[in-house]
Each structure stands twice: as structure tokens, then as C-alpha cells.
Amino acid sequence: MATIVVKQIGSPIRRPKIQRATLVGLGLNKLNRTRELPDTPAVRGMVESIPHLVTIVEERA
């Protein structure tokens, strides 16, 4: 199964609660942390909803 590596690049301080909840849902909570997640439409949607806080570092097949 394909995976993507997501890195947190922004702080959730002074952001709406929904954006903080999205970060927690992705398994991120501190700057520069990375997570390898399955490449599904749900995960892609979460990443696209907070592009100012996370970035996709790598896509693995």
C-alpha cells in the first residue's frame, strides 16, 4: 500500500480548534515531527485542509 510522509511545519497556537484536531488526527503535535501515513483520500483531505501547518515530504509506493 502506498504511503506518504507528512511533516508539521507550523504551530497550532492561535489556530481554530478544528485545525488543532486535524493535526492530532494526523498524529502530529510538535514542530518538525514526521509521520508515515497511508495514502488515502481521507488523509489527503486532512493534509490539504491545513497546508499552512503541514507538508508532504515524501510519497512512497
Whether the CA torsion 17, 59, 5, 9 is positive or negative: it is negative
List of domains in the chain: 3-60 (3.30.1390.20)
- Over residues 1-60, the pLDDT tens digits come to 899 999 999 999 999 999 999 999 999 999 999 999 999 999 999 999 999 999 999 999
Which pLDDT belongs to residue 29?
Answer: 94
**Per-residue model confidence (pLDDT) at position 48:** 98
Residue 2 has what pLDDT?
A: 97
pLDDT above 90: residue 61: no
Q: Tell how far CA 31 is from the center of its chain.
A: 11
